[in-house]
């Protein structure tokens, strides 16, 4: 099972500090990341994304899954639905797995101009230690889970292979 956690902050400085803390928690084996990004929304509403290259890419399927999840959540949620059967099938599976339209809308509402978010996708997480490590930063927390079956189905839908 993978956890998808979105931590919303009022400013980019706090989000950047929280992002670096998540990387530290990865090094300390508190969280086993499959994806991590910081999203900063500028005053004009444009979203700027930073991802560490070494976190994503444990497998081609994992990287593809992270990319689709991220695209549907942040970059082009409307565009994905008009791009044909693949995106329709993937978004249908996402809705079934807990990443439904309501979750995406809550994430979108979190990212108003001037706000930021840290997006974490993890295979394993020691929840009490992760929460303790992240508590100094405050913020708004949204979380959902992807079962191993849902994750495998999504990866297969994207043409990846299990690792």
Predicted confidence (pLDDT) per residue in 78-94, tens digit: 444 444 444 455 555 55
Q: What pLDDT score does 50 carry?
A: 83
Which pLDDT tens digit goes with each residue over 153-163? Answer: 655 655 544 44
Confidence band, pLDDT 50/70/90 cuts, at residue 11: very high
pLDDT over threshold 50, residue 77 = no
pTM score: 0.76
pLDDT at 113 over 80: yes
What is the pLDDT confidence band of residue 125, given thresholds at 50, 70 and 90? very high
3-state secondary structure the chain: CEEEEEEEECCHHHHHHHHHHHHHHHHCCCEEEEEEEEEEECCCCCEEEECCCCCCCCCHHHHHHHHHHHHHHHHCHHHHHCCCHHHHHHHHHHHHHCCCHHHHHHHHHHCCCCCEEEEEEEEEECHHHHHHHHHHHCCEEEEEEECHHHHHHHHHHCCCCCC
């Amino acid at each position: 099972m993978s956890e998808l956690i979105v931590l919303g902050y009022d400013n980019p400085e706090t989000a950047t500090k929280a992002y670096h803390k998540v990387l530290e928690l990865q090094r300390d084996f508190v969280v086993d990341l499959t994806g991590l990004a910081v999203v900063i929304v500028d005053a004009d509403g444009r979203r700027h994304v930073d991802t560490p290259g070494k976190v994503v890419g444990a497998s081609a399927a994992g990287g593809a899954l992270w990319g689709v999840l991220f695209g549907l959540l942040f970059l082009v949620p409307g565009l994905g639905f008009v791009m044909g059967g693949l995106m329709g099938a993937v978004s249908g599976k996402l809705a079934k797995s807990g990443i439904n339209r309501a979750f995406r809308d809550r994430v979108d509402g979190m990212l108003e101009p001037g706000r930021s978010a840290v997006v974490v996708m993890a295979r394993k997480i020691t929840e009490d230690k992760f929460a303790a490590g992240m508590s100094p930063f405050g913020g708004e927390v949204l979380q959902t889970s992807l079962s191993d079956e849902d994750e495998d189905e999504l990866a297969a839908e994207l043409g990846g292979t299990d690792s």
